[in-house]
Chain A
Amino acid sequence: MDSNDKREIILDNYSHPFNKSVDNVDGYVKVNSNNESCIDNIDLYIKFNGNILEDIRFSGEACAISTASTSIMIKNMMGKSIDEVLLYIRNFEAMLNEEEYEDIDFNEAVVFDETYKQGNRKTCVTLPYRGIERAIVEYQKTMK
């Protein structure tokens, strides 16, 4: 994918973010995710059904990269099991860090494969993933 296509996908997800609405989120696990060094600040709402992340929504204010990353992440993670989500995050972050990773299907998230070139934007991309991880931990606590 060339850089123009990547830009198009990012801008499209930024301008029309997926599931950026928080109507009817009763029973969802809510977590806040923000970056210490900047002003990105999003709330994630996750509806778990057993082991499955059945629905994910978000609200808040964040830069284009963070917003697009959240939108793409939600598309990719909805309907996945907790184990699949954690495997996804592990490999996605390995890709961001230029480490070895399993070639699982990142779909649109491949647009971030060169983010390592702009170190200060890595935290923008990973912002929603920090939130999902925390939501899973919180959900698992309630299941014990």
Chain B
Amino acid sequence: MNREDFPMLSKDIIYFDNGATTFKPSCVIDAINYYYKDITANAHRGDYDISYKVDIAYEGARKKVADFINASREEVVFTSGATESLNMIVNGFFAHILEPGDEVLITLSEHASNVLPWFRLAHTHGIKVNYIELDSNLHITMNNVMKAITPSTKVISIAGITNVVGDERPVKEIAQYAHSNNIFLVVDGAQSVPHMKCDVKDIDCDFLAFSAHKMCGPTGVGVLYGKKELLEELDPIKMGGGMNESFDSVEEVYLKELPIRLEAGTQNIEGVIGLSAAIDYLNKLGMDNIKLYEIRLKKYLISKLKDIPHINVLNEECDSGIVAFNVDGVFPQDVAYYLNKYHICVRAGNHCAKILKNAIGVKNTVRVSLYFYNTEAEIDKLIELLSDKNRIVREMI
């Protein structure tokens, strides 16, 4: 779909690492250039035309993000990415309300960003981090969620779609069950928001984190969504310009309203404006169309991979465009180097899900992560290169 919109796709590259980051359409690049070429100024500061234009663009972007996930504008905080969003959620909110012995449930297939902040809280605050068991397909089932919950459980923090297994979690059902047990639900949306419709009201999650660069936007910008009443209780991690109303002394510091209160210092304005253009772009394509297209492509890829005897697919039953596999007897990094010789970009490794090996017994994999601009012809080329194991071994060095 729409390959002509992406300058990177005019190069001789097959890009299958969209779980890491995505290519940017010209409209996003143009929007960033527009900020630098035509309206460079700070936001929320100046009394002159270009600064006003920046305000309009910046706050317009916030409204656009809010509409995109069906939130209200004061519930959308711009951050540097999903990692910062999750760290703010953990350290700005949960660090203040969790007591020693309280339990947070995650899974073994979470990304480091949804593991390490909780691990640290376990050290500093004495909380417990436990795991919702994954089924044989490495998916979460409601049954396992219910089984994992104990009287100490206060938070469930999981990815909407995981970045190695690619399974879509039943977040809406989990939210419902969690709330009926007075448990908060945090959703790491880094791999889900770019690929499917996300409605925070419908899901009823308490917090959501995602990054712009995985959805055709620029790097260094992301979103923290929180229900308004919860964000009100989230302590700013950063203090500084832009977020204070006034201050005279240690005792007299007054902060601004949400969401500006949580955005200290000059923000990544070009990034926010770029994200806004990316959302326009994705809306034009239609999130449902994107999802359908990716699922079709993923099924095509898996059916082809399954025909190759020396390939083991880790996640045949995944619900997204993420496919992890290994070539028998070949180190994943060598597979990636081999494919790179043919300008095919795939990721080899543990994909920042370092505790997943405990669940699958495989430390590293090759990962293909698709987006709407990938094609069956690209997959055919990949399959052709993978089908001859002798060739892989011969050419991997």
| Interface of A toward B, CB cutoff 8 Å | 7, 10-11, 14, 38-40, 61-65, 68, 120-121, 124
Contact = CB atoms under 8 A, between A and B. Distances in A.
Closest 6 CB pairs of A and B: A63-B333, A39-B349, A63-B334, A63-B331, A39-B364, A64-B397
A121 B338 CA distance: 12
A64 B349 contact: no
Most buried by B among A10, A14, A64, A65: A64
Contacts of A38: 333, 348-349
Contacts of A65: 397
B350 interface: yes
A68 B393 CA distance: 14
16 contacts: A7-B394, A10-B397, A11-B397, A38-B348, A39-B332, A39-B333, A39-B350, A39-B363, A40-B333, A62-B331, A62-B333, A63-B333, A64-B331, A64-B397, A68-B397, A121-B337
Nearest to A66: B333
Nearest to B393: A11
Nearest to B350: A39
Contacts of A64: 331, 334, 396-397
A39 B366 CA distance: 11
B363 A61 contact: yes
Contacts of B349: 38-39
A38 B350 CA distance: 9
Contacts of A120: 337, 340
Contacts of B348: 38-39
Contacts of B397: 7, 10-11, 14, 64-65, 68
Interface string B331-351: 111100100100000001110
Contacts of A68: 397
A14 B334 CA distance: 12
Nearest to A6: B397
Nearest to A63: B333
Nearest to B394: A7
A63 B393 contact: no
A63 B337 contact: yes
